[in-house]
């Protein structure tokens, strides 16, 4: 029976991955992400529903556009697949059972709400990672959306879980200070400050996970960044400043350690 639940989570993951590939392209240029249909970037032909089924469409079309036969970047397939696997692992790590879910107890509702928040949290992270990888830029609209979800999450914890709020109050104060600093720097220099954005992303992650996960996230990110920098230095001999997508590496590390921590807490007891 569990396989149905995991199958659903995998499909949700691939759909979110598919949405993210579109959003990664549209959000930074301020384009609408919900009303406008997708089109082929080469021939501009509008894509139909059956061209947009995650993974299936790519494989059925042999990785080519149905209309102009231009190759579709394999990145799209990998993104959808990776997103599907991530959500599948998230479901596996929470160790929920379909029978329990269907017996409609208070625990069940809690479980579903928490998975819902998990899905939203991971979606914002995947979006941030995709945009950062493409443009070395932390998307503020996505981060803002994330903070709204965070607010709802804290509200949920306070109302139903009786968890002490002081920890979150401190986080919120930090977030406000950084945002004010960000606005002040924006006015002074007239451009986005990448370090401040990374700091906001870090606090966002910390609020949704915990200090242990964030410690490992930082260590892994530093290793990724070091490897990235060395690889680029070896590749290009020019003394050009290498732009490292720190946010992208942070997201990968955070998703990995969040799922791992879940596994350790729920399955290896």
Interface with Zn ion (CB under 5 A): 40, 42-43, 65, 67-68, 70
Q: Please check whether residue 17 is in contact with residue 79, taking contact to mean a CB–CB distance below 8 angstroms.
A: yes
Q: Please check whether residue 58 is in contact with residue 81, taking contact to mean a CB–CB distance below 8 angstroms.
A: no
Residue 42 or 266: the one with the smaller Cβ distance to Zn ion is 42
Residue 42 or 105: the one with the smaller Cβ distance to Zn ion is 42
**DSSP H stretches of helix in the chain:** 2-26, 56-60, 74-94, 98-102, 106-135, 140-160, 166-189, 194-208, 211-235, 246-266
Q: Could you tell me the smallest distance in angstroms from the CB atom of residue 66 to Zn ion?
A: 7
Angle between helix 166-189 and helix 140-160 axes, rounded to 10 deg: 160
Residue 31 or 45: the one with the smaller Cβ distance to Zn ion is 45
Residue 72 or 213: the one with the smaller Cβ distance to Zn ion is 72
Q: Could you tell me the smallest distance in angstroms from the CB atom of residue 69 to Zn ion?
A: 7
Distances from the Cα of 28 to the Cαs of 46, 92, 184, 204, in angstroms? 21, 33, 22, 20
Q: Could you tell me the smallest distance in angstroms from the CB atom of residue 45 to Zn ion?
A: 5
Residue 65 or 259: the one with the smaller Cβ distance to Zn ion is 65
CB atoms within 10 A of CB 166: 8
Q: Could you tell me the smallest distance in angstroms from the CB atom of residue 134 to Zn ion?
A: 20
Give burial (CB, 10 Å; 0-12/13-18/19+) of 87.
buried
Q: Could you tell me the smallest distance in angstroms from the CB atom of residue 44 to Zn ion?
A: 7
Q: Compute the distance between CA of residue 116 and CA of residue 240 in angstroms, rounded to an integer.
A: 43
């Amino acid at each position: 029976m569990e396989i149905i639940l995991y199958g659903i989570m995998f499909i949700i993951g691939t759909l979110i991955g598919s949405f993210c590939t579109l959003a990664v392209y549209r959000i930074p240029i301020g384009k609408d992400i919900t009303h406008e249909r997708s089109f082929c970037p080469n021939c501009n032909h509008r894509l139909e529903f059956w061209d947009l089924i995650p993974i299936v469409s790519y494989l059925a079309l042999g990785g080519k556009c149905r209309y102009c036969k231009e190759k579709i970047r394999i990145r799209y397939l990998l993104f959808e697949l990776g997103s599907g696997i991530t959500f599948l692992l998230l479901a596996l790590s929470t160790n929920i059972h379909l029978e329990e879910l269907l017996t409609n107890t208070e625990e069940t509702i809690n479980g579903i709400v928490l998975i819902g928040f998990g899905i939203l949290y991971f979606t914002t992270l995947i979006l941030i990672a995709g945009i950062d990888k493409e443009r070395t830029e932390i998307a503020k609209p996505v981060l803002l959306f994330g903070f709204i979800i965070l607010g709802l999450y804290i509200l949920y914890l306070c109302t139903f879980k009786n968890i002490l709020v002081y920890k979150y109050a401190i986080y919120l104060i930090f977030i406000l200070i950084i945002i004010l600093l960000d606005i002040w720097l924006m006015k002074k220099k007239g451009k986005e400050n990448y370090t401040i954005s990374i700091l906001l992303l870090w606090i966002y992650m910390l609020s949704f996970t915990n200090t242990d996960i964030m410690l490992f996230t930082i260590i892994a990110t530093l290793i990724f960044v070091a490897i990235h920098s060395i690889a680029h230095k070896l590749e290009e001999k020019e003394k050009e400043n290498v732009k490292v997508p720190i946010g992208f590496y942070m997201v990968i590390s955070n998703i990995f350690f969040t799922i791992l921590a879940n596994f350790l807490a729920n399955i290896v007891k």
